[in-house]
Amino acid sequence: MSRILQLNATRRSLVTPMLFSALESALQSHLLRLSQLRTFTDGQIIQQRGDPADGFWLIEEGAVRVGQFLPEGEFRAVALLGPGDSYGELAVFSGKPRIVDAISRGESRVRLVAARPFLDALGNYPASSRALLGALSEQLQDTLSILAGLRHGTNPARLAGLLATMAGDAPDEASVTITQQELADLLGVTRATANAALRDLEKRRLVKRGYGTIAIPDRDALSRFALG
C-alpha cells in the first residue's frame, strides 16, 4: 500500500503497495479527473458487503476502517487505511460483489473511481498493467506474511509485529494513531487482551501510549522483539 504522506497521520495496518499508486502518473491524473469526491462523517458506512463493484475508492483525507459487520452488529476491522490509500480494486477486477464493509473513521473525503472508465483506460497504459501485476504480487506476499505472523507467537510479539508494520519505514520515532479497540480487532483478540499486550510492550520501553496514539521510539527494536 502507498506510504502515508505525514509521519503522524493515521497509518494503515498493512504497508504493501496500493494498486492505484502503481499506475502511471498520467493514468492517475486521468482517473482523478473522472472520479467523484464524496464526504463521510464519523461512523458512516462507505460501502457494504454485497454492494456491486462499481468502482474503487481513493482516500483523500481522513481514515477508513475496512472489515465486516458481525451478525450482532459489531464491526470487526481488518485494515485501517489513510490518505493516499486505495481499496476495492480487486472487486473491480473480479466483477463480483464486494466482500468487505468500510466505514469512515472521523470525517473523511474519498474519491470513487468508476470501474468502466478505469478498465477502459487501463488498456491504453500497458506499463501500468504490468505494474499492477507486480503490486498485486507484493500485496499478496506481504499479506500472507502478516497473517502467518499473527497466527504465531505471544500476543505482545504479535502486537509488536503489527505496530512495526504500521510504522512503515520510519527511521526514527514513529507515531501510530489507533485505538485499543482497533488494535484488538486487527489482532482478533479482546480489548482486554490487546491492552495487556500493549502494557507489556510499554514496560519493555518498546512503545509509549498516548491518547489515541502509540509512539514507537525504535521501529527496528520493535521488529526484533516481534521476531523473537
For all residues of the chain together, what is the average pLDDT? 83
Taking 90 as the threshold, does the pLDDT of residue 26 lie above it?
Answer: yes
- Specify the CATH number of the domain 154-227: 1.10.10.10
Q: How many residues does the chain have?
A: 228
Determine the pLDDT at residue 179.
84
Determine the pLDDT at residue 207.
93
Determine the pLDDT at residue 1.
33
User: Taking a C-beta distance cutoff of 8 angstroms, is the pair 158, 150 a contact?
Assistant: yes
CA-based angle 38:44:45, to the nearest 5?
A: 85
Alpha-carbon dihedral sign for residues 3, 184, 164, 152: negative
- Top pLDDT among 22 and 113 is at 113
- Kindly provide the b/e burial profile for residues 146-158, where b requires at least 16 CB atoms within 10 angstroms of the residue's own CB: beebbeeeebbbb
Contacts of 6 (CB under 8 A, 6+ apart): 83
User: 62's torsion region: left (phi>0), alpha (psi -120 to 50) or beta?
Assistant: left
Q: Residues of the chain with pLDDT > 90: what percent?
A: 38
CA-wise closest residue to 64 among 99, 31, 108:
108
The whole-number average pLDDT for the span 35-46 is 96
Taking 50 as the threshold, does the pLDDT of residue 3 lie above it?
Answer: no
CA-wise closest residue to 184 among 103, 104, 76:
76
pLDDT tens track for 159-207: 888 888 777 666 567 888 888 888 888 887 889 999 999 999 999 999 9
Model's pTM, two decimal places?
A: 0.70
Domain residue spans of the chain: 20-148, 154-227
User: Taking a C-beta distance cutoff of 8 angstroms, is the pair 13, 166 a contact?
Assistant: yes
pLDDT-based confidence at residue 10 (cuts at 50, 70, 90): very low
pLDDT tens track for 149-158: 555 678 898 8
Q: How many Å apart are CA 110 and CA 171, to the nearest integer?
A: 29
Taking 50 as the threshold, does the pLDDT of residue 90 lie above it?
Answer: yes
- C-beta atoms surrounding 49 within 10 Å: 12
Determine the pLDDT at residue 143.
63
Determine the pLDDT at residue 104.
95
- Specify the CATH number of the domain 20-148: 2.60.120.10
Determine the pLDDT at residue 7.
28
